Structure 1
């Protein structure tokens, strides 16, 4: 199909979309109630949701109409862009003979990384991924992406988890398959992205660090959206760099950048950090050139305007069902209340320190990483574009935190890990270059040592990092299996399980999987057998009086607790409400 015909089809589709949205905006609420019954129930169509539905219809009618007009107005430019995409070729990466050993090691590291991530596919469900499945992914897919009642609903992950569940079942590995594939893709993208900066030596080391990073391994087998953001940010940055270096041959790179922005923003709103950082350095870099070329600035401003406006329209389309169903309910979650300058800046510093601990968790001591990163930054090339490109994502996150008064959880900083690893890799190669005979062999030995040490660490540790949060999940599957045996052996009783956070939702997941209709938490009723989960070192009274369970009055009302079974991280107790 010629570029002219493609543009005509695009104009036609945009006009049909605008007309369809306008027609939908004219539908009365009475005609929409049967649609609510098809999706879930008729009373879902409320006056408030109908009003938001009209907002969406008329907004997109106008947006698609304007888009159709602009495509027609600039159709010659778009036709030229399509032709450029078709004609553009990429030079294959040709490895010099002395570089082939680095590529072989990189392939080995990617294989090791896939194996380490695969080994975690079968771990018991954690709290957040159990929440995602129970609240969103097991429901009809339109409800899964529309019920956006919290930032915990990572839309793209929820959507893919839903279809993985429909196709493969509710086993842990099946629900985690989308994020596992994305985690494996991150290994490949990180190796290509880091080679783009310096060369195969740094690429080999960055790949080794990503391969064995406990944080990266864990979130590559944790059914959440963080790895989606990590890989799309890397892809976006790599595409922006190619657009910067080869402006005359950047048509496909612009398309790749567009896809990365759309996929990342549909995964999680925190992709805005990466978009601001990557697009920011691309736009600002010409201002550091001498002489300043106004034509370059205008060209980049135009490219970014088209890129962000078109991708933003698609992203808003993805979030439109959530706005209709929930409105702006989650707006209050986007930022915590602004605090006074001193304490807030202190908390920001603590957040970055916690992120550093997560990036450097594992077999290598934490104190080793920072000096190597400092050496790498000191030895960083003097070119402004490389300096600005490296610092931009960190600066974007820091500035947005200050402006919004936001204190994101530590896991949000995951996508910045490859940038930190790149500085460390530069530091290692700088030190190895001091001994020329070891500049090549040292990289190979360091990469192999990281792979071996990381593999041993992963094999020996059930919880790879953040044990205070993740230890409870280790035994929850075994505990529910034992509870099923106990309940099956005495089927005549009504049962209730008291499960403190963060064991409650994983317990619900495994109870549902086992087909046990046992309520979790809530007030015990007369005649019920009450089961209770504690961590080691806790007593049943500690759980009952905890802020999240709040059953203080039942400490003395329940029969004496009997220890039923002890597991690696949890203990199961039994009592009754007579």
Structure 2
């Protein structure tokens, strides 16, 4: 029993809070001070929850006629409609109920909550104290791979803005904060990324690196997170190869320098899976694991709704492992003597009682964690629900696919995801070989196999149930799992003896790091679909256009920028203050500028779906080429006759 346990068990209230008359107040020992501080925190949180519940209840009672004029403080009075007011009442009543219930439960269990917080603080302090020794034990190669991943990501931090991140900034992040978060008419608004981009823009300005800084930081921290996660699961020799794969991965590198939510949710998936695995490890802090689960699940879902895949996956394999008491995994570099004794597998007849006992043992952390999760996620999505309702669910990407086309659509989606995840070095066939070898030779038990399969199976089932086939980039959350399984297969195949495991891991990691670096150095655009290569030269094109317009201010100017160059062009026009209209219907006296891909004529651009100006060339002088860039050509046509 810990000191905190003894203190709480020996007194009705917190220890050393009363002194004899005339006696000096005793200075409480460290454990007692932690409990006292935790008690204050509990009291403050309970009061805050009660206050929030009362405030929400009062806000729900405010009539529509009083609320409507306040819309002008946010944007426009007309934005406050009766329908949105009704949704606001629903949200306020839900918050009043949730906050009130949380406050009552917290106050009724305040001693246990204070004990829990104090113990968590002690365990966190102990973990921080062990951190220098842990970092020092990782080895030079691990730090070299971290530096390599940081350098490759930094190389793309100032790349020309892409289409989706230009959309996020133009339409959302540079608006007022409440408008950017509330305008959730499609799932293309990754709310946590929009929030972080807004604050980064406010602090650092609108340069490319500033808007990408939050995802760059998370994408870089993903590497040590993957190393810790992989080491715990499969051992260091396997984890170091997976770390090398992640450091040079074109997909992870690209989305670590692309201001979208994909790298945020990938980090949250790993943090969630790692924390759930620690619930089954003896010696691990269960309190810190619970905290990590709640925070990872909450912020992952705030980043993107695809975090639902991971929530279903982790809930599934944790339930199965608890229900049937499956053995701990044994991987290359992790030996059975180093693990806790494996419990005997439960018989099906007693599985329900085993699971029920586990739920009862952890019922208060589950309840508290569930309420915290709901409050965090609800706070992020509440403005979106009030302002847009369920319009995001009518997004084109969520349109149901007919049953006859389901298999073809799912296969196309999976194949595209595999190609994106395995782009670069090593090639796709080597990845596939490693995954197959990992399935065959990776020493594992039932718990391990369930955990490997849980995420891809959850994704497939949810896709089939929702009748959707997502774009390939959604499968980025599977890449760390595929990398760890492939690495386990390669290491297990090359090291048939225990003493060769570490050497095999080092050699493979060096090969991957060197090959991936060569690939990155020879491929300025790491992911090659047309939508990513088209806008590579938008910045250079717009800067050239700015200098050309400065030399001719006698006429109005208009730029024809086809998809997907239109939104990046708007971003650079606004940032550089270029006096040019973008797209729309040209006027006879406009100087008309046009961006086209290599091998694409002005006529093809004018007849493209977004532009739709098939007769424009007939009324204007011929287009002349002004400048050629890596992926784009800038054309000019003088004012029409």
Check whether TM > 0.5: yes
1:79 aligns with 2:114: yes
The aligned counterpart of 1:577 is 640
Range moving further from structure 2, 170-179 or 432-441: 432-441
How many angstroms apart in 1 are the aligned matches of 2:206 and 2:299? Answer: 25
Shift of 1:449: 1.9
Equivalent residue of 1:49, what SS?
helix
Taking a change above 3 Å as real, the CA distance of residues 340 and 36 of structure 1, as seen in their structure-2 partners, is closer
Q: Tell me if the contact between 1:334 and 1:406 (Cα under 8 Å) persists in the aligned partners.
A: no
* Counterpart among 193, 197, 220 of residue 233 in structure 2: 197
Taking a change above 3 Å as real, the CA distance of residues 186 and 301 of structure 1, as seen in their structure-2 partners, is same
Range moving further from structure 2, 396-405 or 39-48: 39-48
The aligned counterpart of 2:7 is none
1:10 aligns with 2:73: no
1:394 aligns with 2:482: no
How many angstroms apart in 2 are the aligned matches of 1:321 and 1:6? Answer: 28
Equivalent residue of 1:338, what SS?
coil
Taking a change above 3 Å as real, the CA distance of residues 404 and 33 of structure 1, as seen in their structure-2 partners, is same
The unaligned stretches of length 5 or more in structure 1 are none
Equivalent residue of 1:440, what SS?
helix
Range moving further from structure 2, 270-279 or 504-513: 270-279
How many angstroms apart in 1 are the aligned matches of 2:256 and 2:142? Answer: 19
Query: How many matched pairs?
Result: 575
How many angstroms apart in 1 are the aligned matches of 2:503 and 2:94? Answer: 60
Equivalent residue of 2:635, what SS?
strand
Shift of 1:81: 2.4
The aligned counterpart of 1:361 is 423
* Counterpart among 81, 85, 88 of residue 53 in structure 1: 88
1:168 aligns with 2:231: no
What is the TM-score with the length of structure 1 in the denominator? 0.95
1:158 aligns with 2:199: no
Taking a change above 3 Å as real, the CA distance of residues 306 and 277 of structure 1, as seen in their structure-2 partners, is farther
Shift of 1:429: 0.9
Q: Tell me if the contact between 1:103 and 1:200 (Cα under 8 Å) persists in the aligned partners.
A: no
Taking a change above 3 Å as real, the CA distance of residues 162 and 21 of structure 1, as seen in their structure-2 partners, is same
Q: Tell me if the contact between 2:297 and 2:373 (Cα under 8 Å) persists in the aligned partners.
A: yes
Shift of 1:84: 3.0
The unaligned stretches of length 5 or more in structure 2 are 1-35, 326-344
Q: Tell me if the contact between 1:462 and 1:474 (Cα under 8 Å) persists in the aligned partners.
A: no
What is the TM-score with the length of structure 2 in the denominator? 0.86
Range moving further from structure 2, 285-294 or 150-159: 285-294
How many angstroms apart in 2 are the aligned matches of 1:475 and 1:171? Answer: 16
Equivalent residue of 1:30, what SS?
helix
Shift of 1:379: 1.9
How many angstroms apart in 1 are the aligned matches of 2:224 and 2:249? Answer: 15
How many angstroms apart in 2 are the aligned matches of 1:302 and 1:390? Answer: 29
1:275 aligns with 2:338: no
* Counterpart among 97, 108, 117 of residue 144 in structure 2: 108
How many angstroms apart in 2 are the aligned matches of 1:82 and 1:436? Answer: 42
How many angstroms apart in 1 are the aligned matches of 2:569 and 2:553? Answer: 19
1:485 aligns with 2:547: yes
- RMSD across aligned positions (CA): 2.2
* Counterpart among 351, 363, 384 of residue 413 in structure 2: 351
The aligned counterpart of 1:177 is 213
**What pairs with 1:429-508 in structure 2 (closer than 5 Å)?**
429-434=491-496, 438-508=500-570
The aligned counterpart of 1:257 is 293
The aligned counterpart of 1:545 is 607
1:410 aligns with 2:472: yes
Taking a change above 3 Å as real, the CA distance of residues 469 and 128 of structure 1, as seen in their structure-2 partners, is same
Shift of 1:480: 0.7
How many angstroms apart in 1 are the aligned matches of 2:497 and 2:384? Answer: 58
Q: Could you report, residue by residue, the CA deviation over 1:42-92 in whole angstroms, capped at 9, with x for unpaired residues?
A: 222222222222221122112211222222344444334223313434494
1:428 aligns with 2:490: yes
How many angstroms apart in 2 are the aligned matches of 1:536 and 1:52? Answer: 50
Q: Tell me if the contact between 2:120 and 2:287 (Cα under 8 Å) persists in the aligned partners.
A: yes
Q: Tell me if the contact between 1:335 and 1:405 (Cα under 8 Å) persists in the aligned partners.
A: no
The aligned counterpart of 2:66 is 31
The aligned counterpart of 1:518 is 580
Taking a change above 3 Å as real, the CA distance of residues 17 and 284 of structure 1, as seen in their structure-2 partners, is same
Range moving further from structure 2, 20-29 or 526-535: 20-29
How many angstroms apart in 1 are the aligned matches of 2:371 and 2:633? Answer: 54
Q: Could you report, residue by residue, the CA deviation over 1:391-410 in whole angstroms, capped at 9, with x for unpaired residues?
A: 11111111111111121111
How many angstroms apart in 1 are the aligned matches of 2:382 and 2:465? Answer: 26
Q: Tell me if the contact between 1:52 and 1:323 (Cα under 8 Å) persists in the aligned partners.
A: yes
The aligned counterpart of 1:223 is 259
The aligned counterpart of 2:77 is 42
Shift of 1:304: 4.5
The aligned counterpart of 1:382 is 444
Q: Which has the larger radius of gyration?
A: 2
Q: Could you report, residue by residue, the CA deviation over 1:201-235 in whole angstroms, capped at 9, with x for unpaired residues?
A: 11111110100000000000000111110111111
The aligned counterpart of 2:164 is 128
How many angstroms apart in 1 are the aligned matches of 2:369 and 2:313? Answer: 15
**What pairs with 1:139-158 in structure 2 (closer than 5 Å)?**
139-158=175-194
